[in-house]
Amino acid sequence: MIFSKYRQSKALVIKMLLAVLLLALPLSAAEEGFRWYDDDDYKPYIYKDEKGEAKGIFKEIMEEIFHRLKIPLSCELFPWKRTQELVHNGLADGMVTVATPKRLETMLASKPLLSSGEKVFVRKDHPRIEEIKKIRTFDDLKKFTVVEVSGDGWAEGHFKGWPNVVWAPKVSSALYMIANGRVDLYVINEFSGMASIRTMLQTSSPFQENFKKIITGPHTLETITYSLLINKTSKWAGLIPRINATLDAIKRDGTYDKILSKYLSIDTP
């Protein structure tokens, strides 16, 4: 009798332990958090600082969203082309970028985290500067040699196949080409371009005086938006509605504007 009760008691304990373990499984998965991969060289939006740590507007917005959602967030930064391959192949959950039709084949997009204007960057002493200042459309760019960054989905969507476009590996390389007169123009969002130039002016370089000569054209060619794109195979694919609602809350309570004010400045260096 006592032995029978012992067996029943032991069985009950085992069942309780199994129940606890089953309940713990979703929590364990959640503890892995959202794996966010992004660009390591896209100031002021997302970049590595001198210590190799992730910084930028996207970092602060993403941290605020996931903090409010109570979901752990990890962030790793790589060269942009590699980042896209990793996320598209499901080795990370998402990235913040432009929601192009090609990307949306494998990704789900949140509401825009940020919008920015694409402008022409050029040396102010360019021999055709007055003509360049009048550029308003992409067709106007065909008269000049343009540099763009390989792997930039927005740029490849607009300039792929153009005979007058030179492809650079990253933003800093493109700006070097402008500074040294190897190309005429670079089209990039204004804040990112200015932030990259400021960084270059803080380093010792024989081309610093040339970087000081780079200015933006007066007209915005296109306004683009950056969203959080989540791989459709990610366990977090259903999170988009909650992310959108949290983003709206951040904008309503003023947190969003405080984050932007830390980074966005368009004063010429």
Domain ranges of the chain: 31-114+225-263, 116-223
- The stretch 196-201 carries a mean pLDDT of 83
C-alpha distances in angstroms, 233 versus 69, 174, 205?
20, 34, 45
Which option is the CATH number for 116-223: 3.10.290.10, 3.40.50.1820, 3.40.50.2300, 3.40.190.10?
3.40.190.10
- What's the token pair of residue 17? 């332990």
Q: Is the pLDDT of residue 63 over 60?
A: yes
Residue 115 corresponds to which amino acid?
A: S
Q: Is the pLDDT of residue 24 over 80?
A: no
Percent of the chain with pLDDT over 70: 86
Q: Is the pLDDT of residue 3 over 60?
A: no
Residue 9 pLDDT grade (very low, low, confident, very high; cuts 50, 70, 90): low
pLDDT digits (tens, 9 = 90+) for 89-134: 999 999 999 999 999 999 999 999 999 899 999 999 999 999 999 9
Length of the chain, in residues: 269
In a 3-state reduction of DSSP, which class is residue 134? coil
Q: Is the pLDDT of residue 31 over 60?
A: no
Same fold, 31-114+225-263 and 116-223: yes
C-alpha distances in angstroms, 80 versus 76, 150, 225?
11, 9, 17
- What's the token pair of residue 152? 């930039």
pLDDT for the residue 67: 98
Q: Produce one character per residue of 129-165: b if its CB has 16 or more CB atoms within 10 Å, e if not.
A: eeebbebeeeebbeebebbbbbbbbbbbebbeeeeeb
pTM of the model: 0.65
- The stretch 58-71 carries a mean pLDDT of 98
pLDDT for the residue 43: 82
- The stretch 73-79 carries a mean pLDDT of 97
In a 3-state reduction of DSSP, which class is residue 163? coil
In 33-148, which residue ranges form alpha helices assigned H by DSSP? 57-69, 80-88, 129-133
Residue 266 pLDDT grade (very low, low, confident, very high; cuts 50, 70, 90): very low
pLDDT for the residue 190: 85
Which residues, at least 6 apart from 262, have a Cβ–Cβ distance to it below 8 Å? 57, 60
Residue 202 pLDDT grade (very low, low, confident, very high; cuts 50, 70, 90): confident
- Work out the number of other CB atoms within 10 angstroms of the CB of residue 23: 9
pLDDT for the residue 265: 56
pLDDT for the residue 131: 97
Span of 5-14, 79-88, 197-206, 235-244 with lowest mean pLDDT: 5-14
The architecture in CATH of the region 31-114+225-263 reads 3-Layer(aba) Sandwich (3.40)
Report CA 214 to chain centroid distance, whole Å.
24
- Alpha-carbon distance of 236 to 242, in angstroms, equals 11
- What's the token pair of residue 90? 């499901």
Q: Is the pLDDT of residue 51 over 80?
A: yes
- The stretch 69-73 carries a mean pLDDT of 98
- Work out the number of other CB atoms within 10 angstroms of the CB of residue 57: 27
- Alpha-carbon distance of 125 to 110, in angstroms, equals 42
Q: Produce one character per residue of 84-107: b if its CB has 16 or more CB atoms within 10 Å, e if not.
A: bebbbeeebbbbbbbbbeebeeeb
pLDDT for the residue 50: 87
pLDDT digits (tens, 9 = 90+) for 235-264: 999 999 999 999 999 999 999 999 988 876
CA atoms within 13 A on the CB side of 267: 3
pLDDT for the residue 8: 52
